[in-house]
Structure 1
Amino acid sequence: MALSREGVADEDTRFIKQADMRYVGQSYELTVPLQEEDLDAAALDEILAQFHQEHERSYGFKAEEEPVEFVALRFSAVGVIPKPQLPKVSPGDHTTTNAIKKTRPVYFAETDGRVDCPIYNRYKLGSGDDITGPAIIEEVDSTTVIHPGYRAAVDEFGKRFLTRI
């Protein structure tokens, strides 16, 4: 099995069986979990009852007299893995001056004009660093603007939390 090749032990493997079902003629389906190992007449009756119940819960009505069709049957194997350890960033120096790349004039409505705004290199900020706005933090795929009256605190994982001061 593919999960064992990925290092997932058999006891950490869970199997999920589901059916996508709908009333004949509808263009949308509902997913119903399948519990039974064998799909005999009693199991099918239970699956239909679950479908009608889920349809009523989702759409406010059920039509037990209408024919129901199976659109898809799905069997998934899921491997339970240990929670990953997120990498932590190094502690900052709490001055953040080493992270400033440059300054440039930036317009903020709160200041009624342009102010010289420090531009920080995101990758040079460490945990515990604080930046008071106005400021901008740049990285390869994102820019964080810290408006006047706000501050950004960097946590141990490098995430920034902005709060009003």
Structure 2
Amino acid sequence: MRLGLGCLPLVLYSAFVEARNQYFNVSMWPDSEEACPLPQEIKKHAEIFTSPAKTDDAEWVGVLVGGQNEGVTDFEKGLFVLTQDDYNGVGVLSSCIYRTSGGKYLNLRLELGKQYQRTMWIERVSQWKPSSDHPSPVMLECDSKDLAGCAFHLE
């Protein structure tokens, strides 16, 4: 099969996008990307823990009963639930789980404003694996400690 020279820019661009995403871990949709916040980005007021989200009218929120003297020390993992049994990367982020200074676990959820009823999907599939804690094939987890390592996108 022979391609005309007019297709060459498209072929080169496609190869560049694939290489950029695979090798440099750069998002193809940076404006819609969210990720589990880093522990140092999480603030607390009494027993309520929050972190700003990139998306307008959204915020990461979690409650830890008896956690007023706790600080967030470590990220454990993010949990993502696929909406279909076959892996298509589309679903909902269940929560991001953190360890506190007192040894407790804190679950943060992305609270979207009322205007958002968004589908979520995973771009960096290699970071998300079947969950070791849940036998369901639709539950994925990510334990990457990298900045935006457990990223997902809002549609």
> Same fold by TM (over 0.5)?
no
* TM-score normalised by L of structure 2: 0.22
Q: Computing the radius of gyration over CA atoms, which structure comes out larger, 1 or 2? A: 1
Higher relative contact order (CA 8 A, sep 6+): 2
* TM-score normalised by L of structure 1: 0.21
